Amino acid sequence: MTTVDVLVIGGGPVGLTAAALLGDLGVETLLVDRKPTTSSHPRAFGVHPRTMEVWRRLGVADDVRSVAVPPEHTAGIGWMTSLTGMEVGRLMFPPPPSVEVSPEPGCFCAQHRYEAVLHEAAQARAAVSVRFGCEVTAIQRPDAPRLTVVDSSTGVSEVVSARYVVAADGLASPVRQRLGVRERATGRFGHSVNVYFRADLAPLRKERPFALTWTVGPGAEGTFAVVAADLHEWTFNFEADPDHVYSEAELIAAVQRGVGDPGLAVEILDVLRWDYEQAVTDSWCVGRTFFCGDSAHRFPPHGGFGMNSGVQDAENLAWKLAAVLRWGAGESLLDTYETERKPVATYNSARALANTQALASAKWDAEHAQASVDAQVEHFFTLGQQMGTVYRSAAVIDDGQPVEQSTVTTYVESACPGARAPHVELRGADGRSISTIDLCRGRFVALVGAGAPIPDERRPASDGRPPIAWAAIGPTGDYRPIGRSWHDVYGVGDAGTVLVRPDGHVAARFAEPPSPATVAEVVQRLLGRLAG
Ligand SMILES: Cc1cc2nc3c(=O)[nH]c(=O)nc-3n(C[C@H](O)[C@H](O)[C@H](O)COP(=O)(O)OP(=O)(O)OC[C@H]3O[C@@H](n4cnc5c(N)ncnc54)[C@H](O)[C@@H]3O)c2cc1C
C-alpha cells in the first residue's frame, strides 16, 4: 500500500496547479490521472492575471506566456458574417490596466499548451509524484481515505492511503458521483462541437487581430479562436446536434462555411464535444476529500471563469492543507475552503449564465449590432470580477473598516482583510524589482510600514510552526516602492502593518505596529488553534 499526505485525482490545470503548490509547501503529494498524458485539446484560452499570479509563484508564468498567442494577435473580440465576410461589431481591449494592478497581465493561451507547462512544474517538485495512465476506480472511507488506483497499461491495481484527497477530476467527477454529493444545477441547456484544426488564416487577419471571432451569418454560425502565434492553428466551435456523429468531411465543411471559403485547405487536429451546463456542488468536502475546479463547479465558458476559478480553488486549498499537515493548524481551517470559495463559484456561475444570455439575445443587423456589442462589456471586461474577491471567514480577521466592493468591470484595489493583497512594485536591497505579491510565497508575511519598528526576530519559523516573514517597506526598509505609494494602496499609515496569507490574500490589517508575539497569536487564531 502506498501512503501519501495528499492524493490529487486529476491532472488538468487545477490538479496540476494544486500538486505543484503542495509540493512547494513540502507536502508529499501523489497526482494520478487516467489519461496517458495531459490533454490534447485547446479548451480554455483566457488566462486571467490572477491565475498568472498563482503560476508566477510557481515560477512558470513566463513559460506559459511563451506558449501563448501574443497580444498583437489577441487584441479584441470580433463579430463578422463569416471570417472572410463583413465585420458587424468589435470590442477592442484597452491597454491592460492590469500592468498597474498586477505584474502579470492575462494572456490568451491554449489549455493543452499550459497544461504541458504545469505538468513539468508539478513533476519538478521533489515532494510531488505524478502518474498519468492511472485511474482511481474506488474510494473507501472518505474520512480516512483509501483509494484503488489502477495502472491502465498493466492493469495492476494498488491501494493508496492518503491523509487528504483533492478531487480535481473534472466536471463529471467520478469521485463526487461515488460519494453521492449533490449539486445546485440548471442542467444541460446546449451542446457544442469544438473543432481544433490547422489552416492558414493569416491573410484574413490584417486589420482584425481578434482573439475570438463570432461568425453570425446564416450557415456560418460559430466561434473562431486563434491557437498558435503563426495563425495556422485554430478552433471553431458550433452549436451541434447531440445525437449526430459528425464525419470529418462535415466538420471540414462547417469550418469552411464559418470562414466563408469552400475551397480552404483544413486539417482536423482534434474534436471535443461539450455541453452547456451550470452547477455548483453543495458540499465542497466529504470527510477528508475536497472538490476543486470543475468537480466543484461548472459553468458555460462565456467569461472564461471555469479554469481560472479552479486554479484559485487550488491556491486556497493548498496552503490550508499544508497548514494542517505541517504547521499544526486545526482541521477547522479546512472548513474555510468552502466558506471562501463556494460564494465565488456561485457568483461566477451566475455571471457566466448572464454572459451566455447576452450572447444569445444579441442581434447583428445594422440597427441592433452596436447595442449588441455594448451588451457584451460585462462579458469581456471583467477585471473587477477577476481580482476583487474579498473572503469572509474564520481565516480572515475583519478590521471593521468599510469595504469598497469591486464591480464586474472595475477592480477597486484594497488591502482590506480578505482581499487579494494588491501589487506594488518594489526594489529590494539587491536592486532588483519585485512585487508585493512575490513576498508571500508559501508563508505568511507581515508587510511593515516605514514608520513601524521592525522586530528583531524576522526569520521564518522552521520547527513545525507556521512560517512568518517580515518585510519592511519604505525608504529605509528592505524594500523601496517604485512609483506608487505602498501606504496609499494598502490604506495604512506610516506605522501600519498588513499580514498576508500564503495565498496572497490579506489575513489582518493593523493601524498600529503589532509585536511579533501579536502577529504569531493572530496566525494561530487564523489556523484554528486559538478560540475567538
Ligand atoms: C470550449 C471550452 C472553452 C473554455 N474556455 C475557458 C476559458 O476561456 N477560461 C476558463 O477559465 N475556462 C474555460 N473552459 C473551462 C475549462 O476548460 C475547465 O474549467 C478546466 O479544464 C477545468 O480544469 P480541471 O482541472 O478542474 O478539470 P479537467 O481539465 O477536466 O481535468 C480533470 C482530469 O481528471 C481526470 N480524471 C477524471 N476522473 C479520474 C479518475 N477516476 N482517476 C484519475 N483521473 C481522473 C481526467 O482525465 C482529467 O484529466 C472552457 C471549456 C470549454 C469546453
- CA 396, CA 96: separation in Å to the nearest integer? 30
pLDDT of residue 28: 98
| Ligand 1 atom nearest 32 alpha carbon | 43
| Ligand 1 atom nearest 46 alpha carbon | 8
pLDDT of residue 458: 58
- Ligand 1 mean position to 120 CA, how many Å? 18
- CA 246, CA 333: separation in Å to the nearest integer? 49
With a pLDDT cut of 70, the percent of the chain lying above it is: 97
Which pLDDT band, with edges at 50, 70 and 90, does 505 fall under?
very high
The CA–CA distances, whole Å, from 54 to 49, 93, 422 equal: 9, 23, 14
Residue whose Cα lies nearest atom 5 of ligand 1: it is 44
pLDDT of residue 96: 63
The CA–CA distances, whole Å, from 483 to 9, 439, 486, 507 equal: 44, 18, 9, 25
Q: Is the pLDDT assigned to residue 323 strictly greater than 60?
A: yes
Positions of CATH 3.40.30.120 in the chain: 421-526
**Which tens digit of pLDDT belongs to each residue from 171-212?**
999 999 999 999 998 888 899 999 999 999 999 888 899 999
Q: What's the chain's average pLDDT? A: 94
The answer to whether residues 199 and 264 touch, using CB atoms and an 8 Å cutoff, is: yes
CA angle in degrees (0–180, nearest 5) for 332-333-335? 65
Residue whose Cα lies nearest atom 30 of ligand 1: it is 170
Which pLDDT band, with edges at 50, 70 and 90, does 100 fall under?
confident
Out of 10-14, 53-57, 76-80, 396-400, pick the least confident. 396-400
Mean pLDDT of 31-45: 97
> pTM score > 0.95 for this model?
yes
CATH H superfamily, domain 2-69+105-179+281-384: FAD/NAD(P)-binding domain (3.50.50.60)
Which pLDDT band, with edges at 50, 70 and 90, does 463 fall under?
low
pLDDT of residue 417: 97
Positions of CATH 3.50.50.60 in the chain: 2-69+105-179+281-384
Q: Is the pLDDT assigned to residue 15 strictly greater than 90?
A: yes
Q: Is residue 191 in contact with ligand 1, taking CB distance under 6 Å?
A: no
Which pLDDT band, with edges at 50, 70 and 90, does 236 fall under?
very high
pLDDT of residue 493: 87
Residue 414 C-alpha cell reads as: 484594497
CATH of 421-526, one of 3.40.30.120, 1.10.3720.10, 3.40.1080.10, 3.20.20.210: 3.40.30.120
Q: Is residue 5 in contact with ligand 1, taking CB distance under 6 Å?
A: no
DSSP state of 440: G
Residue whose Cα lies nearest atom 11 of ligand 1: it is 307
pLDDT of residue 315: 98
- Ligand 1 mean position to 156 CA, how many Å? 26
Q: Is the pLDDT assigned to residue 97 strictly greater than 70?
A: no
Residue whose Cα lies nearest atom 21 of ligand 1: it is 307
Q: Is residue 307 in contact with ligand 1, taking CB distance under 6 Å?
A: yes
Best mutation site among 37, 43, 195, 276 for ligand 1 pocket (most ligand atoms within 8 Å of CB)? 43
**Which tens digit of pLDDT belongs to each residue from 341-364?**
999 999 999 999 999 999 999 999
Mean pLDDT of 451-475: 75
Q: Is residue 32 in contact with ligand 1, taking CB distance under 6 Å?
A: yes
Q: Is residue 413 in contact with ligand 1, taking CB distance under 6 Å?
A: no
**Which tens digit of pLDDT belongs to each residue from 127-155?**
999 999 999 999 988 788 999 999 999 99
- Ligand 1 mean position to 294 CA, how many Å? 6
Mean pLDDT of 151-173: 97
pLDDT of residue 456: 66
The answer to whether residues 10 and 314 touch, using CB atoms and an 8 Å cutoff, is: no
Of 441 and 166, more confident = 166
Report the relative pairing of strands 157-167 and 444-448 from DSSP bridges. unpaired
- Ligand 1 mean position to 12 CA, how many Å? 6
- Ligand 1 mean position to 185 CA, how many Å? 18
Mean pLDDT of 62-84: 96
Out of 179-183, 187-191, 282-286, 522-526, pick the least confident. 187-191
Q: Is the pLDDT assigned to residue 461 strictly greater than 80?
A: no
pLDDT of residue 95: 73
Q: Is residue 107 in contact with ligand 1, taking CB distance under 6 Å?
A: no
Q: Is residue 34 in contact with ligand 1, taking CB distance under 6 Å?
A: yes
